[in-house]
Amino acid sequence: MERKVGRSLGLLLVVLLTVTSFLTGCGQSSGDPDEPAVKELVIAFDRDAEILDTIKTSWFSDGLIYIHDRLISRDYEFNYRPGLAESWETSEDGLVWTFKLKEGVKFHDGTPLKASDVKFTIESIIDPEVASPSASDLAAIEKVVVKDDLTFDIVLKHPFPNLLFILSNTACGIVSEEAYKKYGDEYGVKYVVGTGPYVFKEWIKGDKLVLEKNPDYNWGPDWMENNGKPIIDRIVMRVIPEESTRRMELEAGNVHILRNVPASFVEELAGNEDIEMIRGDATKLCYLAYACDKEPFTDVRVRRAINHAINKDEIVNYLLRGVGQPAYGYLPPALKSEYYDGSKTDSYGYDVEKAKALLKEAGYENGLQLTLSAENTSEFKKLAEVLQSQLKEVGIETTIQLYDSSSYTDMLKEGKQELFIRLYSWPNADILDYFLLSSQFPYPNHSRWLDEKTDELIKKAAGSATWEERAAGYHEVQKYLIEQAVWAPIYIPDSVLAVRKEVKNFKFHPWIPQYNDGFDLGVE
């Protein structure tokens, strides 16, 4: 009897799993045969949100992109375009920006968006008592002045042409003042209220975040193909830490999209006719850093020798399997106007003999023995091994030390690093402020670069009156950083997404996919 029951239960389980998999891939039935299936898009992520509160979080879940709209949007060419703000103008001195909101915009609870909600959002972020992790991004803002329900001024302490970028970021998703105050400590956990194309439904920590389409949405950016109600009914963001498990779930049809696909998976997944590999320019950069305030890294000759020791082409061709390009400067070329075009010309080519000569000149003819630290992922572990081999060729012996993500951060904060691998992802030159200003020491200025000229160049660029002057200022910053060999840039990985064939009308965006812009699900 036990065997018969067990066998029956096992058969039932197989049937249920098969049906569940089919429903996940093709949309879920509402139970009513006359009702269309629910179109449910499933996306896999390696980590969960901290809190779904744009004002308080330091880790922005992709879900916040779709729950909240921002004043400024960025199109597929990365241009700044209207979002919630239909227009804006700047005073002659650059200190007052006047914005006009779109009419008819409503929060998910039905209350209308007003200029007072914008004031509440921005002034909460810059309020020292709130201690928002994004406060430094908005430090140039003095105050927000409401002129009427749809018009407001942002008053600056000094000219700040980067304001449009800041206002387009996830951190500046506009929240409802009424809802934020109403839900208190439960806001961002049980309740999240925005004006975006998707509405918060459920968050099970460590498992999934569920969003459902906003049936009233009709105020999306004009540059989108679909700026009204989304076609996809529901987005499920699953947390799957293991790379191999994410891949298996994609191949099984239980997940539709993988972002940030590891290079090692690209060739293998490319052979699956049910999956399309989509590649584009990324706003990322991987580099080898070192503690610049510690010997031997205080000597620029040693820093330059390390740069000359790295064979970037070998790393891109064999480690990344061609899914990327060598990095020569401190920003990725995808940033266009901000990227310094002289990066490759000014950088350090692979030259073992030059590296040896520089080490000898610096007094290290007999070589060096150093620790090389990295996060314990398959990608960074392999990169550390390749760098270990390349550095050995010029006389630098290294011992590899691997850390989990949190321990790695702790190590850097404690200042225990010598050589270490980092990768950043950010679509703006102000990432250099974040990592290299003396005021950011000891963390996130983990390369421990304390330099008055760098501070002066960055502050001058950031405080420029116009975007063009700002971009030119950051070109000077990058030129100087290359000269000083503050980092050893290695590569810029391609942005790679694996997308199942059920996903229709997929559009690549250089920052975050816009799933409300006509994305659909279907079966061929």
pLDDT digits (tens, 9 = 90+) for 39-56: 999 999 988 888 999 999
φ/ψ (deg, to 5) at 507: -125, 130
| 131 Rama sector, left if φ>0, alpha if ψ -120 to 50, beta otherwise | left
If you average pLDDT over residues 263-292, what whole number do you get? 91
31 lies in some domain? no
- Per-residue pLDDT tens over the stretch 171-228: 999 999 999 999 999 999 999 999 999 999 999 999 999 999 999 999 999 999 999 9
pLDDT reported for residue 267: 82
Please check whether residues 297 and 416 belong to one and the same domain. yes
The span from the CA of 54 to the CA of 198, in Å, is 15
Give bridge partners of residue 491 from the DSSP assignment.
286, 326
Q: Are residues 486 and 347 in the same domain?
A: yes
139 and 220 belong to one structural domain: no
Task: Please check whether residues 263 and 407 belong to one and the same domain.
Answer: no
Task: Write down the pLDDT at residue 465.
Answer: 83
Q: Which of 114, 146, 178 is the last residue of a domain?
A: 178
Q: Which helix (H) or strand (E) holds 164?
A: helix 163-168
**313 and 212 share one domain:** no
Task: Supply the pLDDT for residue 524.
Answer: 52
> Token pair for residue 22?
């089919």
Is 276 in the same domain as 333? no
- On the question of pLDDT at 12 being above 50, the answer is no
Report the percent of the chain where pLDDT is more than 90.
Answer: 78
Shared domain for 222 and 356, answered yes or no, is no
In a domain, 508, yes or no: yes
What are the C-alpha distances in Å from 414 to residues 408, 410, 418?
10, 6, 12
Residue 21 domain-assigned? no
Nearest to 169 by CA among 138, 211, 143: 138
Q: Is 43 left (phi over 0), alpha (psi -120 to 50) or beta?
A: beta
CATH code, domain with 78: 3.90.76.10
Given 178, 209, 229, which residue is the final one in a domain? 178
Given a cut of 90, whether residue 463 has pLDDT beyond it is no
The answer to whether the beta carbons of residues 395 and 356 sit under 8 Å apart is yes
CATH number of the domain residue 386 falls in: 3.10.105.10
pLDDT for position 78: 85
Got the DSSP string for 371-436?
Answer: EEEEESSHHHHHHHHHHHHHHHTTTEEEEEEEE-HHHHHHHHHTT--SEEEEEEE-SSTTHHHHHH
Same domain, 392 and 300: yes
Number of structural domains (the chain) is: 3
3-state SS string over 425-479? ECCCCCHHHHHHCHHHCCCCCCCCCCCHHHHHHHHHHHCCCCHHHHHHHHHHHHH
Same domain membership, residue 204 and residue 268: yes
217: domain range? 42-46+197-280+496-521
Residue-wise pLDDT tens digits, 483-505: 999 999 999 999 899 999 999 99
Q: Same domain for 130 and 242?
A: no
Q: State the Cα–Cα distance between residues 232 and 506, nearest whole angstrom.
A: 12
At a CB cut-off of 8 Å and minimum separation 6, what does 334 contact?
78, 281, 282, 283, 427, 492, 510
| CB 84 within 8 Å of CB 101 | yes
Q: 120-174 pLDDT, tens per residue?
A: 999 999 999 999 989 988 999 999 999 999 999 999 999 999 999 999 999 999 9
Instruction: Give a yes or no: residue 5 inside a domain.
Output: no
